[in-house]
């Protein structure tokens, strides 16, 4: 097996989180009443269920707001929660994008197989599945881009046992559940949103590193970024959900966005190989709703201010959890919300991005 094709990341000891510098919106190229516009949207009812909004430009915070509301912890109701800078919040499927970063770090360290490696060969505990010639063409790359070609359906609510991620979590063997699903398209032919793909990547990371996902993330990513408080939920200790289990503060989610915006660099240190960030944010396949997908990141284009459309990188999660990064404009927008399993949960965070942030960026 060929490993470590990327340049190894620099040694990354844990550091104290650097304080976020702040600047008034009009000093960062925005309309001065940006906060008032957000407040008006919330009071009018157009923006519903928001728990936190943090907008940064070139690493400086120009808008940060928290609103109390009912919340959950990986599906467990928490009741009314007082939100603030120190409040941990579900990322839900934004967790997938963080796991994508961890895979790039692990690859640089020679701990996981490269994208071109055969996927089923990495799971020799299932020889019956690996022997199926129809699955022989599946590569790790197909898990990274969610193009494995396996039957998978997360379109039904996550409260429904027919949802494939829920069925996976309830299965006696989660990896077998994913890998034994019927082939419905050739690998690489179609994008299918799949928490199962992320579960396989998480297993490769834990097997190669000999650590749990929380311990590995703490060592190679969170500690070096100054992230000291987080939680990672899962069915059992050591079986944390790679697809949806991570909880961070809003500022720390924004730190992840800033890391991506700067090509894997934080405080002058290359935490994630630049080659991996570039490959992860390069379009691989269309998602079918006007967006593209890379390696565990959504990709799109929107127009900031009166300028031409610029590419953005996004992590999306159930309930309205969002992370948008627009490198050309220097923007990072992190949003927490509590509209879990609501079909319209995507609307409010998208309005913040497209109707408040981007139109009010001055050319």
pLDDT in tens, 236-278: 888 999 999 999 999 999 999 999 999 999 999 999 999 999 9
> Whole-prediction pTM value?
0.95
* Residue 13 pLDDT level (bands cut at 50, 70, 90): low
Neighbours of 359 (CB within 10 A): 13
Span 109-120, average pLDDT: 98
CATH topology of domain 114-205: Methane Monooxygenase Hydroxylase; Chain G, domain 1 (1.20.58)
| CA–CA dist 13, 112 (Å, integer) | 21
* Residue 80 pLDDT level (bands cut at 50, 70, 90): very high
Instruction: Give Cβ neighbours of residue 157 (< 8 Å, ≥ 6 apart).
Output: 163, 341
* Residue 159 pLDDT level (bands cut at 50, 70, 90): confident
Asked if pLDDT for residue 5 goes beyond 80, the answer is: no
Asked if pLDDT for residue 182 goes beyond 60, the answer is: yes
| CA–CA dist 78, 27 (Å, integer) | 39
For the chain, give every domain's residue range: 25-99+211-360, 114-205
- Average predicted confidence (pLDDT) for the chain: 94
Q: Which two tokens stand for residue 80?
A: 């009314």
Q: Can you give the pLDDT at residue 210?
A: 98
C-alpha of 350 from chain center: 16
Instruction: Give Cβ neighbours of residue 315 (< 8 Å, ≥ 6 apart).
Output: 91, 93, 94, 96, 97, 98, 256, 297, 298, 321, 322, 323
Span 300-306, average pLDDT: 93
CATH 3.40.710.10 fits 25-99+211-360, yes or no: yes
Instruction: Give Cβ neighbours of residue 234 (< 8 Å, ≥ 6 apart).
Output: 240, 241, 245
Looking at the DSSP bridge assignments, the partners of residue 35 are none
């Amino acid at each position: 097996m060929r490993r470590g094709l990327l340049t190894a990341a620099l040694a990354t000891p844990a550091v104290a989180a650097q304080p976020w510098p702040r600047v008034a919106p009009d000093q960062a190229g925005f309309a001065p009443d940006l906060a008032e516009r957000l407040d008006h949207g919330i009071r009018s009812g157009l923006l519903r269920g928001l728990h936190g909004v943090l907008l940064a430009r070139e690493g400086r915070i120009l808008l940060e707001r928290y609103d109390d509301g009912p919340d959950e912890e990986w599906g467990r109701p928490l009741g009314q929660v007082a939100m603030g800078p120190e409040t941990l919040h579900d990322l839900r499927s934004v967790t997938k994008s963080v796991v994508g970063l961890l895979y790039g770090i692990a690859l640089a360290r020679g701990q996981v197989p490269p994208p071109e490696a055969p996927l089923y060969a990495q799971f020799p505990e299932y020889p019956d599945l690996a022997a199926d010639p129809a699955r022989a063409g599946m590569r790790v790359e197909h898990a990274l881009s969610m193009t494995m070609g396996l039957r998978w359906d997360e379109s039904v609510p996550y409260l429904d046992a027919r949802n494939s991620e829920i069925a996976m979590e309830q299965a006696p063997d989660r990896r077998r559940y994913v890998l034994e699903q019927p082939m419905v398209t050739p690998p690489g032919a179609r994008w299918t949103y799949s928490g199962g793909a992320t579960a396989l990547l998480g297993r490769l990371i834990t097997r190669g590193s000999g650590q749990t996902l929380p311990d590995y993330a703490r060592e190679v990513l969170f500690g070096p970024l100054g992230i000291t408080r987080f939680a990672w939920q899962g069915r059992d200790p050591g079986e944390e959900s790679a697809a949806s289990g991570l909880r961070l503060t809003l500022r720390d989610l924004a730190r992840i966005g800033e890391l991506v915006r700067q090509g894997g660099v934080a405080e002058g240190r290359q935490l994630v190989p630049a080659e991996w960030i570039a490959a992860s944010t390069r379009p691989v396949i269309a998602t079918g709703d006007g967006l593209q997908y890379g390696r565990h990141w959504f990709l799109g284009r929107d127009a900031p201010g009166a300028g031409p459309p610029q590419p953005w990188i996004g992590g999306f999660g159930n309930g309205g959890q969002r992370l948008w990064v627009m490198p050309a404009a220097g923007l990072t927008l992190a949003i927490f919300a509590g509209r879990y399993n609501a079909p319209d949960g995507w609307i409010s965070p998208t309005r913040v991005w497209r109707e408040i942030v981007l139109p009010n960026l001055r050319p």
